[in-house]
Copies of this chain bind each other. A is one copy, B any other.
């Protein structure tokens, strides 16, 4: 599916994950101002929101599942070359596997998308794992989904605290994910949350900020992979504390909400270069 974005989408995403709150910070300004613009690698997770099937393409096959019980469980990103600040690209998605954890637990759905530039070069590969809680017991294989990245048992090496704003989800959602669970108080209550929750991928972007500032000197080109498992939602206004462990080029990380001491991101794995 073809899609396009401009530097406006790149900057809007960066503001959505809380970059540039101090507009005089020389490390963050390049992510939110078009002069020598830097692209946060996790922008890839929202870049394809306006992707549509090319004219004449075969129709997409739907998934006959209960979407109301579907959860975004894991997000993976492998970066092959830096994302440009704007461009026309394609994304090609593929189902890697569907695993059956039984009627009580549900099904695990593993998908992958590859983003390519006009020359056909792969820019990045996005992977995600969904938990279709209402669709287990269909008789498929139980095992085969990606194993979660193990976190070291030693105390973490360092941590970064990133406050979010109460309106963080309202800015973030303009990057494409308009699920009303993140904006509508009534929808949030129906889903048993006291208030609208932050997008999991917005928390994911905050974690990427922590890795960029701690281990990449704010150079997006040094980040090569960024994988997480979502474990609990953040409420807008809370502080996300990212705990990190470095072993060679691999950074392991977790994220906690400071105000409630709840783990929101588990099994985080980043690969950094240099």
Min CB gap A6→B, angstroms: 11
Residue A24 at the B interface, CB < 8 A?
yes
User: Once the chains bind, are B35 and A170 in contact (CB under 8 Å)?
Assistant: no
User: Once the chains bind, are A23 and B178 in contact (CB under 8 Å)?
Assistant: no
Compute how far the CA of A32 lies from the CA of B182 in the bound complex, rounded to whole angstroms.
Answer: 12
Chain B contacts of A81 at CB under 8 A? none
Residue A196 at the B interface, CB < 8 A?
yes
User: Once the chains bind, are B178 and A15 in contact (CB under 8 Å)?
Assistant: no
- The interface centre, meaning the residue of A165, A167, A185, A196 with most chain B CB atoms within 10 A of its CB, is A167
Chain B contacts of A166 at CB under 8 A? 21-23
Count how many chain A residues have C-beta atoms less than 8 Å from C-beta atoms of the other chain.
29
User: Once the chains bind, are B167 and A15 in contact (CB under 8 Å)?
Assistant: yes
Chain B contacts of A165 at CB under 8 A? 21
User: Once the chains bind, are A174 and B35 in contact (CB under 8 Å)?
Assistant: no
Residue A236 at the B interface, CB < 8 A?
yes
Chain B contacts of A249 at CB under 8 A? none
User: Once the chains bind, are A184 and B11 in contact (CB under 8 Å)?
Assistant: no
Min CB gap A184→B, angstroms: 6
Min CB gap A26→B, angstroms: 8
In the complex formed, the residue of B with least CB distance to A165 is: B21
User: Once the chains bind, are B184 and A35 in contact (CB under 8 Å)?
Assistant: yes
Question: Which of B20, B29, B170 makes the CB contact (< 8 A) with A15?
Answer: B170
Min CB gap A195→B, angstroms: 6
Residue A234 at the B interface, CB < 8 A?
no
Residue A225 at the B interface, CB < 8 A?
no
Residue A12 at the B interface, CB < 8 A?
yes
Ordered by A's residue number, 16 sampled pairs between the chains whose C-beta atoms are within 8 Å are A11-B170, A11-B174, A15-B170, A20-B170, A21-B166, A23-B196, A24-B185, A32-B167, A32-B170, A32-B183, A33-B170, A33-B184, A34-B178, A35-B180, A35-B184, A171-B171
